[in-house]
Amino acid sequence: MYSSPFLDLPPFRAATGVVRLPGSKSISNRILLLAALAAGTTTVHDLLDSDDTRVMLDALRALGCEVAQEGATLRIHGLDGQLRTRQASLFMGNAGTAMRPLTAALALLGGDFELHGVPRMHERPIGDLVDALTQLGCRIDYLGNPGYPPLRIHPVPPDMLALDVPIRVRGDVSSQFLTALLLTLPLVATRDVTIEVVGELISRPYIEITLNLLARFGIDVRREDWQRFTIPAGSRYRSPGDIHVEADASSASYFIALGALAATGDGLRIEGVGATSIQGDIRFIEAAREMGAQVESGPNWLRVARGAWPLKAIDLDANHIPDAAMTLAVMALYADGPSTLRNIASWRVKETDRIDAMAAELRKLGAAVEDGPDFIRVHPLPAANWRAASVETYDDHRIAMCFSLAAFNPAALPVRILDPHCVAKTFPDYFETLFEVVEPLDIPVICIDGPTASGKGTLAVEVAHALGYHYLDSGSLYRVTGLATRRAGLEPDAANEGRIAALAHGLSLQFIKGQVVLDGEDVSDAIRTEAAGMDASRVSALPAVREALLSLQKRFRRLPGLVADGRDMGTVIFPEAPLKVFLTASAAQRADRRHKQLISKGISTTLDSLRADLEARDARDSSRSVAPLKPARDARRLDNSQLSIAQSIEQVLDWWQDVQPFKAS
């Protein structure tokens, strides 16, 4: 999961392979609450692991619910409708699927509770739900702006609740208000309890999910059209025992769109959800087909390929797929005419005002966009009009994910996604999953070369972390190869050159937070011994080994990008890299740094001997017949003799920004 301030996506040209989707957020949090309220133990399989589900689990544990986790499986021991904790302050983050139903459950179960969240949660309306609960006799106070969280819930005896008249709730702002009542009113259904919806009910497919899951937990709600719902007297939650969470159909929309834009060969296979899903957003398939996508479906899979190109413009009432419809707005950039999404007023009360946000970010890309209270119209974007842009995500996971599709633009421009970590709300590994199936036009590389003890390793690690890029410590490769050679029982000499080269070519090597990891083992210390250094020198003299390691180094060039440090990264390995830095410092300064480093490890040495050794090594490295140490012709020189690490990092990041076609927001 990327925690960098921004993530630069290079232009993509194709997509193929298999995508396994995470569990549905909507289903996950409903199941968690129902399992907690039910009698018995529920084993939950394939639960989504995300910010929103963690918020719900933390709240349930705080309320006394016992949750045991075994790998990807959760075992929840239900409360049978009785809280074990009667007073608590609960943090709800920005999880509407936790905030709304827990508000209803706690108001009905009795107790003294405060519910609060992040600032955006305190801007998301909850007044219609609170109004419905106060009709029953629940006591709820607003602790900030009326109609919005945070809330204070006061205990009310169950026999004081007014269940003999229909409970009226608005349905035209968010279906989560009705869902919250449906999920929790069985707690107090000593008689038939009726809910009446005021106005048109939006997002009906989400209510279908709620009714389906209630039935799995023993509650059979009677529905009259979409205006009246009755919970039978004597209803009681019963655990189904085992229950599986479907993969998220909303998340599927990004990969369905990906297939429509760029799938090649056999298309893109999406596993975990099929056309028979209980989730309403699976109807995104219909809209994608209308735009020209070719979609096949099986019991738990989809296969998508490009059909019509350019895509066909659509005019769609998107009320039934409010979350997935955002993906259509980006697909519209690749259409043959303007596309209009209507009846999407609910976008304005989601994680952000999604109509305003989508319109603003689409315009940054160069698109002409019209928008109103409940619609957005997006005009296609010719190649000549595309602009490289830094996309603001507003802490909204769906904006980050759907705008990743802009990397397929015909102008071959990169796209910067600000705050990529926001995808953790529903799909923490979204970008990693995307990178597994897309084919980029190019993968950016930053080369940091320089003499021994110049600090290039420390600098490269920090720059890679800041950009969310992979890191290559080329200087450790011969040492790792020497270590692997010894462990394989081979003598590092010419007699074993072929076997050592094959070993080097297949090294399973990672560089993680300054550690050198070989086959899952941290070998950072093992490769720094005197014996390891001697073995490194011997294997480096073998031409086949050098060729194998050249190939290995190039394989480190993976999405979203690479920062490589060494002595010949910019001159030999990645000569086409858009940014090459030659880092240096005076021999005296480098000797002083090395001296402090060795002294801290208890190794006795002198400054004079270190300086002499460094100067001699510089001379040898600069005069090598193979890949001598020298700056690449277009390298930017950075003398860090008088710079702190932070200043050096800032300078390299500034240079990186200089070679990008967009500016940071």
User: What three-state secondary structure class fits 564?
Assistant: strand
Residue 25 annotated as lining a ligand binding site: yes
Alpha helices for 185-248 (secondary structure H): 204-216
Residue 593 annotated as lining a ligand binding site: no
Residue 354 annotated as lining a ligand binding site: yes
Alpha carbons 171 and 184: distance in angstroms, whole number: 17
Amino acid making up residue 646: A
The size of the chain, in residues, is 665
User: What three-state secondary structure class fits 142?
Assistant: strand
Locus of tokens 């409940």 = 374
Residue 457 annotated as lining a ligand binding site: yes
Residue 350 annotated as lining a ligand binding site: yes
Nearest alpha carbon to residue 572 among 598, 595, 549: 549
Residue pair 470/561 in contact (Cβ under 8 Å)? The answer is yes
Active site residue 323: yes
Residue pair 170/151 in contact (Cβ under 8 Å)? The answer is no
- Residue 307's φ and ψ, nearest 5 degrees, are -115, -100
Alpha carbon 163 to chain centroid, angstroms = 43
Residue 450 annotated as lining a ligand binding site: yes
User: What three-state secondary structure class fits 34?
Assistant: helix
Residue 398 annotated as lining a ligand binding site: yes
Residue 455 annotated as lining a ligand binding site: yes
The DSSP secondary-structure symbol of 526 reads: G
The DSSP secondary-structure symbol of 232 reads: P
Alpha helices for 476-517 (secondary structure H): 477-487, 497-505
Structure tokens at 254: 């990004």
Residue pair 546/623 in contact (Cβ under 8 Å)? The answer is no
Residue 452 annotated as lining a ligand binding site: yes
Locus of tokens 């029953």 = 136
Q: Which of 323, 371, 396, 473 is catalytic?
A: 323
Alpha carbon 627 to chain centroid, angstroms = 40
Residue 453 annotated as lining a ligand binding site: yes
Q: Which residues contact 308 (CB under 8 A, 6 or more apart)?
A: 291, 292
Residue 168 annotated as lining a ligand binding site: no
Residue 346 annotated as lining a ligand binding site: no
Residue 364 annotated as lining a ligand binding site: no
Residue 524 annotated as lining a ligand binding site: no
**Strand 445-449 and strand 562-566: pairing?**
parallel
Alpha helices for 305-412 (secondary structure H): 325-331, 354-364, 397-403
Residue 561 annotated as lining a ligand binding site: no
Residue 554 annotated as lining a ligand binding site: no
What kind and span of H or E run contains 17? strand 12-20
Residue 124 annotated as lining a ligand binding site: yes
Q: Which residues contact 92 (CB under 8 A, 6 or more apart)?
A: 55, 59, 98, 99, 102, 115, 116, 117, 121, 149
Binding residues for ATP are 450-458
**Catalytic (active-site) positions:** 323
Please state the residue numbers annotated as binding site for phosphoenolpyruvate: 25, 96, 124, 176, 354, 398, 425
> Residues comprising the binding site for 3-phosphoshikimate?
25-26, 30, 174-176, 203, 323, 350
Which residues make up each annotated binding site? 25-26, 30, 96, 124, 174-176, 203, 323, 350, 354, 398, 425, 450-458
